[in-house]
Chains A and B, each alone.
Chain A
Amino acid sequence: MPSFYHETHTLFGHLRNPVLQWIFSIDHKRIGLMYMVLMFTLFFLAVGAALTMRAELFAPGAQFLEPQTYNELFTFHGVTMIFLFIVPGIPATLGNFLLPLMLGAHDVSFPRLNLISFWFYVLGVILGISSLVTGQGFADTGWTFYAPYSIRTDAHVLSTLSAAFILGLSSILTGLNFIVTIHRLRAPGMGFFKMPLFIWGLYATAWIQVLATPVVGITLLLVILERTLGIGIFDPTKGGDPVLFEHLFWIYSHPAVYLMILPGFGIVSEVLPAFTRRTIFGYHAIAISSASIAGIGYLVWGHHMYTSGMSDIARVIFSFLTFLVAVPTGVKIFDWVATMYKGSIVLATPMLWILGSIINFTVGGLTGLTLGAIGPDIHLHDTYYVVAHFHYTILGGVIFMFIGGLHYWYPKITGKLYDEGLARIAFGLAFVGFNMLWFPMFLAGFFGNPRRYFDYLPDFTVYHQISGVGALLIASGLLLIVYTFYRGLRSGRDAGPNPWNATTLEWHIPSPPPLENFPKIPYVDFEPYEYEAGEPLVQFDENFRRIR
């Protein structure tokens, strides 16, 4: 059977040119792969910016960067990583590729809309990156665009703001498409509680995308109007209130944190059953905790603003609500641990990344509690402690989960296996490098090293130097992954449909999948993760009738 690499549907019927076949393809798998290539290119650009900053910070004092360049660099790093990579990342890449496969559908509900959101994404990327080359330099506001600075600065904020606005639109359209697909196109028999947990993660994410992104969209639009027309809404000289900007910004951006992590949690819940060869512990609890994290995530934005001027009562309430998020998150973590308990764990590379991510994320989550409490936060606010905390959750958590997922679904996407030995070395480098990079930052921040500064006191030198070495290690680990994947593509062994003995629907079709995924849609009247003596319990014949 020819795979989706050989044939495709496009927006304009049958196109001969293979490049146009990709650019105009409305097949969810090709769109997912296009996102993947573009996003990881940007990811490595942002990694480059981070390494440059680390090099500058290797010793106190100025080395080779101007302070203004440094401000633009960390803004570029933040904007690219947050808006271009991690927020849309997992849903747009793995989500697009896998959602219809896991649901037992031929495609997403609106394939053309899917392609249009990709184009919006490309437009956003072009707008965002353009200010790098068109004079005046990149924005220097940090990725949060806090008013009134973002209104007053001479740097090129307009194009970055418009880029973020358009990327928001793209993200909304993807979320909308996923919600409708999940509601409408589940295979017959598949109730909501028979869906794989990755789908649950994407579902909760999609609702956040749809309900939170418009808020930040209009807020950024107001800043744009502020800069161009001077309407005054956030400008204190005209009676506007910059703290309101912070409120509106974080009403989106805190749920966005969960928007980043929830699909990652979904990946963990897919990988664990496959490599422990048993059904996931507490399926319902994990599914519902995704939804409750999404819900509670809306109510906690104020914890970014303890020092911005809020009433004490509001601070106490936000602190309490922030702690509340730990409950469903804890439920998930304990369920994963319970899944592994007495399981026959296979320490393949995806499993290593997932275990690493659980460790990192736990550190990140627990340090989040100290920041959620008002007292410690006043001390730690805007220090490297915060930077270490969110890198532990986002880089050590989400990106580790993302990379674990990439390894896990690599055979499905390419039809090939990667070299296990190389992949493990890459994981080792990245895990050790990551912890060397960020753990010292907790200490530096605790002792009072402020974030976002181009320079630091000589007392902090040792932390920054250990970090610098760690940064090199993790960067080489990331490069090794790229090489491993490339080599797998060139000379890897054929993977076959189900190399990991996994149970969900995508593993029952050939790798790489054919154009319309399923020759016949299966009837799903079973739980997603059922094993019997280490083998998937459910099996289909070639017409997707159940044999077992």
Chain B
Amino acid sequence: MQQEMAYDAQGQPHPVVDFHDDYGGAKLGFWVFLMTEAMMFGTLFLLFAIYFYRHTESYVASSGHLDVWLGGTNTVILLVSTYTMGLSTMMLRRGRVRAAVLLVGATALMALIFLGIKAVEWNMEISRGIYPGSGVLDALDRGEILFFGLYFVMTGLHGLHVIAGVALMSWVLLLIRSGGIRPEHTIVMKNVTLYWDFVHLVWIILFPLFYMIGV
């Protein structure tokens, strides 16, 4: 498309930014979206902090029930997956499309492994009878009820974000295939990478809060 110009009183042309293919706009829009995500998770972290302050001892006790090793493995997997995702964008911009595709695929695979481990963990808790509203949990101390309530809400919400991430990565792969993402047109790719960075960042905060305070 031809670049549209606006002319000032002296007849000088000034380029007009159009809403089609506005790289800066797409980037800004995504950052603003991430702010809303940060506000949402921030609210939950605030709730965590308040109840932690009120029930420190039972928080520490319930944290001890969680499996640090499984959570730790998941943390490592997410850290590596952010690395591969970032690398894939870099590869794409250098024109190495095939490497980029492989790296996105690897990231998606790691995200799925993360979800699998998460499912094992949830399953462990649930088989002990600990899930929101269960009789076993409601018989426990109030701090523990709140701890596990927040645990399931926050890891669940994070898990939903991971699932969304896998969906986005599959979409990215489709777009690369159909030419919607090219080495000279990477904005979608960059935004998905940013999103994945955010998802991993949330986990980096979640992990010590839920798993480490009881160690």
Q: Which of A106, A522, A523 is packed against the most chain B CB atoms within 10 Å?
A: A523
B4 touches A521 (CB 8 A): yes
A109 touches B142 (CB 8 A): no
Interface string of A91-118 (1 = CB under 8 A from B): 0000000000000111111110000000
A231 touches B36 (CB 8 A): no
Which residue in chain A gives the minimum CB-CB distance to B142?
A239
List A185-224 residues whose CB lies under 8 Å from chain B: 185, 187-189, 210-215, 217-219, 222
Which residue in chain B gives the minimum CB-CB distance to A213?
B36
Q: Number of residue pairs across A and B with beta carbons under 8 Å?
A: 132
> Is B183 interfacial (CB-CB < 8 Å)?
no
Q: Which stretch, A133-141, A148-156, A175-183, touches the partner chain B?
A: A175-183
**Secondary structure dominating the interface of B:** helix
> Is B190 interfacial (CB-CB < 8 Å)?
no
> Is B126 interfacial (CB-CB < 8 Å)?
no
> Is A525 interfacial (CB-CB < 8 Å)?
yes
A218 touches B18 (CB 8 A): no
B142 touches A244 (CB 8 A): no
CA distance A104 to B146 in the complex (A): 52
A217 touches B132 (CB 8 A): no
> Is B39 interfacial (CB-CB < 8 Å)?
yes
A238 touches B145 (CB 8 A): yes
Q: Which stretch, B24-32, B80-88, B110-118, B198-206, touches the partner chain A?
A: B24-32
B9 touches A238 (CB 8 A): no
CB distance from B108 to the nearest CB of A (A): 25
CA distance A524 to B50 in the complex (A): 51
> Is B67 interfacial (CB-CB < 8 Å)?
no
B15 cross-chain contacts in A, Cβ below 8 A = 188
B143 cross-chain contacts in A, Cβ below 8 A = 239
CA distance A241 to B142 in the complex (A): 11
CA distance A18 to B25 in the complex (A): 32
List B1-60 residues whose CB lies under 8 Å from chain A: 4, 6-9, 14-19, 22, 24-25, 28-29, 32-33, 35-37, 39-40, 43-44, 47, 50-51, 55
> Is A487 interfacial (CB-CB < 8 Å)?
no
B17 cross-chain contacts in A, Cβ below 8 A = 184-185
CA distance A544 to B10 in the complex (A): 13
CB distance from B16 to the nearest CB of A (A): 5
CA distance A105 to B28 in the complex (A): 18
List A132-171 residues whose CB lies under 8 Å from chain B: none
Which residue in chain B gives the minimum CB-CB distance to A215?
B43
CA distance A109 to B17 in the complex (A): 10
Among B33, B39, B47, B55, which residue has its beta carbon within 8 angstroms of that of A239? B55
- A521 with B16, Cβ < 8 A, contacts A176-B29, A188-B6, A222-B153 known: yes
Among B9, B36, B153, which residue has its beta carbon within 8 angstroms of that of A210? B36
Q: Which of B14, B36, B43, B142 is packed against the most chain A CB atoms within 10 Å?
A: B36
CA distance A184 to B6 in the complex (A): 15
Among A172, A244, A525, which residue has its beta carbon within 8 angstroms of that of B8? A525
Among A106, A111, A210, A248, which residue has its beta carbon within 8 angstroms of that of B32? A210
Interface string of B160-171 (1 = CB under 8 A from A): 000000000000
Which residue in chain B gives the minimum CB-CB distance to A28?
B19
Q: How large is the interface on A (under 10, 10 to 19, 20 to 34, 35 or more residues)?
A: 35 or more
B28 touches A188 (CB 8 A): no
> Is A376 interfacial (CB-CB < 8 Å)?
no
A231 touches B132 (CB 8 A): yes
Among A106, A212, A546, which residue has its beta carbon within 8 angstroms of that of B18? A106
- A233 with B29, Cβ < 8 A, contacts A188-B6, A217-B40, A225-B153 known: no
CB distance from A158 to the nearest CB of B (A): 15
- A233 with B39, Cβ < 8 A, contacts A109-B22, A244-B50, A523-B8 known: no
Which residue in chain B gives the minimum CB-CB distance to A186?
B17
CA distance A239 to B147 in the complex (A): 10
- A184 with B132, Cβ < 8 A, contacts A218-B44, A238-B146 known: no
CB distance from B125 to the nearest CB of A (A): 14
B145 touches A232 (CB 8 A): yes
A523 cross-chain contacts in B, Cβ below 8 A = 6-9, 14
B32 touches A219 (CB 8 A): no
> Is A14 interfacial (CB-CB < 8 Å)?
no
CB distance from B10 to the nearest CB of A (A): 10
> Is A421 interfacial (CB-CB < 8 Å)?
no
Among A213, A232, A520, which residue has its beta carbon within 8 angstroms of that of B6? A520
A184 touches B47 (CB 8 A): no
- A189 with B6, Cβ < 8 A, contacts A180-B29, A215-B43 known: yes
A212 cross-chain contacts in B, Cβ below 8 A = 39
CB distance from A226 to the nearest CB of B (A): 9
CA distance A254 to B40 in the complex (A): 17
A177 cross-chain contacts in B, Cβ below 8 A = 29
List B51-102 residues whose CB lies under 8 Å from chain A: 51, 55
B6 touches A187 (CB 8 A): yes
A229 cross-chain contacts in B, Cβ below 8 A = 132-133
> Is B152 interfacial (CB-CB < 8 Å)?
yes
- A231 with B152, Cβ < 8 A, contacts A215-B40, A239-B142, A523-B14 known: yes
Q: Which of A105, A210, A239, A521 is packed against the most chain B CB atoms within 10 Å?
A: A239
CB distance from A252 to the nearest CB of B (A): 10
B133 touches A231 (CB 8 A): yes
Which residue in chain B gives the minimum CB-CB distance to A230?
B133
A67 cross-chain contacts in B, Cβ below 8 A = none
> Is A240 interfacial (CB-CB < 8 Å)?
yes
B43 touches A248 (CB 8 A): yes
> Is A452 interfacial (CB-CB < 8 Å)?
no
CA distance A213 to B16 in the complex (A): 33
- A107 with B29, Cβ < 8 A, contacts A172-B36, A213-B36, A238-B145 known: no
> Is A284 interfacial (CB-CB < 8 Å)?
no
What is A's interface to B at a CB cutoff of 8 Å?
104-111, 172, 176-177, 179-181, 183-185, 187-189, 210-215, 217-219, 222, 225, 229-233, 238-241, 244, 248, 520-523, 525, 544-546
With A109-B29, A211-B39, A232-B132 already in contact, 11 other A-B pairs whose C-beta atoms are closer than 8 Å: A176-B29, A181-B19, A184-B28, A188-B8, A225-B132, A230-B133, A230-B138, A232-B145, A233-B153, A244-B50, A523-B8
